[in-house]
Amino acid sequence: MDATLWIVTLVGSAAAALTTAAFVPQVIRVWRLKDARDISFPTFVIFSVGLAGWVGYGTLVESVPIIAANSLTLILALVILLLKVKFDRAAHPRPD
Contacting positions for a second copy (CB under 8 A): 4, 7-8, 11-12, 14-26, 28-30, 33, 35-40, 42-44, 46-47, 49-51, 53-54, 56-57, 60-61
Please state the closest distance from residue 25 (CB atom) to a second copy, in A: 4
Which residues, 6 or more positions from 35, have their beta carbon under 8 angstroms from its beta carbon? 87, 91
Specify the 3-state DSSP secondary structure of 54.
helix
* Number of C-beta neighbours around residue 80 at 10 A: 22
**Residue 21 or 90 having the CB closest to a second copy:** 21
**Residue 4 or 93 having the CB closest to a second copy:** 4
* Number of C-beta neighbours around residue 4 at 10 A: 8
**Residue 16 or 85 having the CB closest to a second copy:** 16
Please state the closest distance from residue 9 (CB atom) to a second copy, in A: 9
Please state the closest distance from residue 95 (CB atom) to a second copy, in A: 13
